[in-house]
Amino acid sequence: MAVLENYPYDKEFYYEIRGKDPWTLNLPERAARMIYLNKTGYNGLYRVNRQGKFNVPFGRYKSPKYLDRDNLLAVSQSLRDVDILCVSFETITERAKPGDWVYFDPPYVPLSQTANFTSYQPNGFGVKEQEKLRDVCLELSRKGVYITLSNSDTSVIRLLYPPAYFSVDEVLANRAINCDGAKRGKITELVITNYPLEKTMQLQLLEKQGTYLIHLPSNLT
């Protein structure tokens, strides 16, 4: 937080910080840079160019809250005993054990041909990667691991996750990133699980920290 205290909300400073190579910074400076760019960049978007460099333009806000002391302290406390890994999603099959719960939040399948943002890095996350992720979910299901996945409500995703193997539920989610403000709002997304998505049961499990059995189709075992 001491580093963020010295960061002004200024367009010229934004591009100066954006242009720095994060690997040349120490850990507090690297964290401060990430938080600052996230809170002051255009719509909180994360995007890189073909060279892997962050290229989101400056955002225009009245008073962006990038120095949120209470929130930063709370997050620090929550992550104290957490391991954060930068690895391929496929490696989860090596670490997840029966009874574990895994949540996947992949780049969403585009809703149209013009909405072609499918990745946060140069290599992309296309249909082949979506199929690999589906296969990982099937493997985790066979191991008795609970999975939850969110994605766009498209025919591609509905075909990849048929009801014979997964529970597919529609939810309304807010969309805040759009150059046209009139098009921001709620849109249908899919929440996919390998167990019944019942809110009452979910709340009881959270309160009691209990578990329940997954009933898998016979052709999965």
What structural domains and CATH numbers belong to the chain?
4-78 (1.10.1020.10), 91-220 (3.40.50)
pLDDT greater at residue 176 or residue 57: 57
User: Which pLDDT belongs to residue 180?
Assistant: 53
Which tokens hold the place of 77? 């406390």
Give the CA angle between residues 213, 216, 219 to the nearest 5°: 155
3-class DSSP state of 104: strand
Look at strands 167-175 and 185-193 and give their pairing: antiparallel
User: Which pLDDT belongs to residue 177?
Assistant: 53
Residue in 59, 57, 70 with CA at minimum distance from that of residue 9: 59
**What does the alpha-carbon distance between residue 146 and residue 199 come to, in Å, rounded to a whole number?**
15
Average pLDDT over residues 188-194: 92
Which tokens hold the place of 104? 């996947």
User: Which pLDDT belongs to residue 41?
Assistant: 96
- Which residues have a Cβ under 8 Å from the Cβ of 87 and sit 6 or more positions away? none
Exposed, middle or buried, 32 (CB in 10 Å: 0-12/13-18/19+)? buried
Using CA atoms, how far residue 138 sits from 22, 127, 135, 162, 192, in Å, is 37, 17, 5, 11, 12
Per-residue confidence band for 113, with pLDDT thresholds at 50, 70 and 90: low
Which tokens hold the place of 92? 């989860």
User: Which pLDDT belongs to residue 138?
Assistant: 96
pLDDT in tens, 23-65: 999 999 999 999 999 999 999 888 888 888 999 999 999 999 9
In the chain, which ranges are continuous DSSP H helix?
11-18, 27-40, 69-78, 92-95, 127-142, 155-160, 199-208
Residue in 145, 46, 158 with CA at minimum distance from that of residue 103: 145
pLDDT in tens, 82-100: 998 989 999 999 999 999 9
User: Which pLDDT belongs to residue 219?
Assistant: 46
Per-residue confidence band for 211, with pLDDT thresholds at 50, 70 and 90: very low
Residue in 152, 168, 164, 145 with CA at minimum distance from that of residue 117: 152
User: Which pLDDT belongs to residue 20?
Assistant: 96
- Which residues have a Cβ under 8 Å from the Cβ of 152 and sit 6 or more positions away? 108, 109, 110, 111, 189, 190
Using CA atoms, how far residue 149 sits from 33, 66, 170, in Å, is 30, 29, 12
Q: What average pLDDT is seen over the chain? A: 83
